[in-house]
């Protein structure tokens, strides 16, 4: 049997009008968005469907919007998957998809995560930048050379063999961008984010999220979840919980995740949720694999 992997997008995949067509077409999607409005206590659906780009860019809105859209799409999608993974906040969508978490608990965790990350970003001035066309070892060497006791920059997202995102203090990231360009990077681009995600600067956010995560029941996964921190398939609810706590300050091993899913028998990747960013990354990692999506 051809194995299919469901993959769920993270921050950066949001767009104006996201989820609107799902809401109009499917009663199941309408129920998810209406439930999210009630759980969150504000009209998320209106912001998704009619909000401005600036509103959707706010971390505390972006993450719950992407999560809700992804779950709404997943309950309407007929594609059957034998494994799953999610990029950064997308991992929470994957956990609901695999029945590790229910929707309400997942949404509350994402809201806590987003608020904690936004607060941490306010306290510690951080940023992120995409580096394209530079080898992993060289970029890690550059980050190490720039970092000191006062400022740090680390590799945060290993998105594909050619795209790595760095994260850290603003000045350290800017220095690393310059050096990366001098060393042959094809493109360096600072990202529009409110903090240094997936870096040690998210320590305070991790502690706040951990307090909430510890109170939530994590069931064993019904299909293997390939986790960001390990890039390995996990089914134990307790193991997934511990990895999810580590996720905020650890790099997203997306490139290795996709490669391990292929090694595990995946013949098709199916992106569920807003946009097609992950489909593009998979294509860069393996040009021969079948790709699809539903949003």
Instruction: Give dist(CA 244, CA 256) in Å, integer.
Output: 17
What SS3 state is found at 148? coil
Respond yes or no: is residue 118 known to be catalytic: no
Say if CB 187 and CB 132 are below 8 A apart: yes
Instruction: Give dist(CA 186, CA 183) in Å, integer.
Output: 9
Which tokens sit at 25? 């077409």
Say if CB 79 and CB 31 are below 8 A apart: no
Active-site annotation holder among 88, 93, 194, 250: 88
Active-site annotation holder among 69, 87, 118, 198: 198
Respond yes or no: is residue 87 known to be catalytic: no
Instruction: Give dist(CA 198, CA 215) in Å, integer.
Output: 23
Say if CB 134 and CB 102 are below 8 A apart: no
Nearest to 233 by CA among 223, 241, 242: 223
Helix intervals (H) in the chain = 20-25, 27-40, 44-50, 53-57, 59-76, 90-97, 103-123, 136-146, 170-182, 203-213, 237-247, 254-263, 277-285
Instruction: Give dist(CA 81, CA 269) in Å, integer.
Output: 9
Active site residues: 88, 198
């Amino acid at each position: 049997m051809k194995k299919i992997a469901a993959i769920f997008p993270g921050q950066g995949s949001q767009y104006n009008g996201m989820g609107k067509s799902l809401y109009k077409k499917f009663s199941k999607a309408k129920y998810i968005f209406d439930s999210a409005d009630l759980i969150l206590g504000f009209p998320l659906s209106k912001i998704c469907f009619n909000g401005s780009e600036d509103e959707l860019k706010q971390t505390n809105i972006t993450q719950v919007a992407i999560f809700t859209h992804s779950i709404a799409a997943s309950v309407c999608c007929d594609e059957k998957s034998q494994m799953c993974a999610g990029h950064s906040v997308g991992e929470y969508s994957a956990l609901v998809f695999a029945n590790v978490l229910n929707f309400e608990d997942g949404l509350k965790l994402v809201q806590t995560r987003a608020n904690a990350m936004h607060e941490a970003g306010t306290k510690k001035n951080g940023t992120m930048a995409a580096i394209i066309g530079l080898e992993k070892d060289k970029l890690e060497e550059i980050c190490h050379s720039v970092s000191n006791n006062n400022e740090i920059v680390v590799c945060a997202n290993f998105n594909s063999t050619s795209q790595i995102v760095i994260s850290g203090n603003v000045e350290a990231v800017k220095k690393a961008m310059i050096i990366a360009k001098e060393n042959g990077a094809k493109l360096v681009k600072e990202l529009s984010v409110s903090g240094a995600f997936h870096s040690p600067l998210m320590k305070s956010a991790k502690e706040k999220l951990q307090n909430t995560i510890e109170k939530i029941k994590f069931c064993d996964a019904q299909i293997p979840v390939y986790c960001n921190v390990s890039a390995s398939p996990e089914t134990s609810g307790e193991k997934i919980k511990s990895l999810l706590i580590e996720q905020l300050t650890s790099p997203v091993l997306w490139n290795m995740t996709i490669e391990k899913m292929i090694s595990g028998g995946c013949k098709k990747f199916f992106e569920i949720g807003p946009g097609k960013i992950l489909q593009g990354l998979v294509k860069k990692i393996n040009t021969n694999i079948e790709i699809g999506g539903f949003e």
